[in-house]
């Protein structure tokens, strides 16, 4: 049976004082019946690494460069992240795809760069409301995942995939458990055609996950946990979501 994973994505939130309080609240609530991680803004990576050094909680970054090094002002390479002991890196979040025009291929290249340095990429896929209403959900997420599958080749089974419908991120709207499961089943079937490890791969759901809907989402056959946004900024809410992932 796949072990559940809950990852908090802090996005562009936090301060040293607030982060310390949040991490203390999460660590004091241990143990959990699932794996737990937080993905934090770059300036707080070192503080987070120190805060979690003696715990079983994991941590990661919210993005990375596809390049190893060079004249890429403002970019951060996976090698730099790995030097801190970074476990995960989110790539292809809809906010990166939308606000920074990241292509499917760039997302795939970032995932490849992460794996090359031993960091697990959490590859995000998802459709907009207009795409869902046009009946294009399956085509969109399959296209996004296909680029990563093609680029990673035999390493496909080493990544984590997160389905985040764009229309449910930060909007208060959430895909029903049945809607989310349908897309997760589609993604797992696509992965099964690419790697023998598909059944053991972790697939996360993200998009307005809260304490009151987490259990019903995580109870679906192909949903192995969540990528949590807003609720990850409140220790009580995040802990409650982690408790729901059994």
Q: Per residue in 232-242, pLDDT tens?
A: 999 999 999 99
**What does residue 160 show for φ and ψ, rounded to 5 degrees?**
-115, 140
Residue span of the structural domain in which 193 resides: 5-244
* Residue 59 marked ligand-binding: no
Low-confidence ranges of the chain (pLDDT < 70): none
Active site residue 93: yes
Q: Nearest-CA neighbor of 166 among 192, 149, 144?
A: 144
Give Cα separations from 228 to 8, 81, 153, 187, 221 (angstroms).
5, 21, 28, 19, 19
Phi-psi domain of 225 (left: phi exceeds 0; alpha: psi -120 through 50; beta: other): left
Confidence at residue 75, expressed as pLDDT on a 0 to 100 scale: 98
Active site residue 100: no
Q: What is the domain-level CATH number for residue 151?
A: 3.20.20.70
Q: Are strands 203-205 and 120-125 parallel, antiparallel or unpaired?
A: unpaired
* Residue 213 marked ligand-binding: no
Catalytic hit among 154, 164, 184, 199: 164
166-225 pLDDT tens trace: 988 777 777 899 999 999 999 999 999 999 999 999 999 998 899 999 999 999 999 999
CB atoms within 10 A of CB 192: 13
Catalytic hit among 93, 95, 102, 184: 93
Confidence at residue 170, expressed as pLDDT on a 0 to 100 scale: 75
* Residue 9 marked ligand-binding: yes
Residues 6+ apart with CB under 8 A from 131: 137, 140
Confidence at residue 119, expressed as pLDDT on a 0 to 100 scale: 98
* Residue 11 marked ligand-binding: yes
Confidence at residue 236, expressed as pLDDT on a 0 to 100 scale: 98
- How many domains is the chain partitioned into structurally? 1
């Amino acid at each position: 049976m796949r072990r559940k994973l809950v990852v908090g994505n802090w996005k562009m939130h936090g301060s040293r004082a607030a982060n310390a309080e949040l991490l203390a609240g999460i660590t004091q609530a241990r143990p959990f019946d699932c794996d737990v991680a937080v993905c934090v803004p770059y300036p707080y990576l070192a503080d987070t690494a120190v805060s979690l050094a003696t715990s079983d909680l994991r941590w990661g970054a919210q993005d990375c460069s596809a390049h190893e090094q060079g004249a890429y002002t403002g970019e951060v390479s996976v090698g730099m992240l790995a030097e801190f002991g970074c476990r995960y890196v989110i790539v292809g979040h809809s906010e990166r795809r939308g606000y920074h025009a990241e292509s499917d291929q760039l997302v795939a290249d970032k995932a490849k760069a992460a794996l090359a340095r031993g960091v697990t990429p959490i590859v995000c896929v998802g459709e907009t409301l207009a795409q869902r209403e046009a009946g294009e959900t399956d085509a969109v997420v399959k296209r996004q995942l296909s680029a990563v599958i093609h680029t990673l080749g035999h390493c496909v089974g080493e990544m984590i995939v997160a389905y985040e419908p764009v229309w449910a991120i930060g909007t208060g709207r959430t895909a029903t458990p049945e809607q989310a499961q349908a897309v997760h089943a589609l993604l797992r079937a696509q992965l099964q055609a690419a790697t023998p490890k598909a059944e053991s791969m972790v697939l996360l759901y993200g998009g307005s996950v809260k304490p009151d809907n987490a259990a019903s989402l995580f109870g679906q056959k192909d949903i192995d946990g969540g990528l949590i946004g807003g609720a990850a900024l409140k220790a009580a809410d995040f802990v409650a979501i982690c408790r729901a992932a059994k």
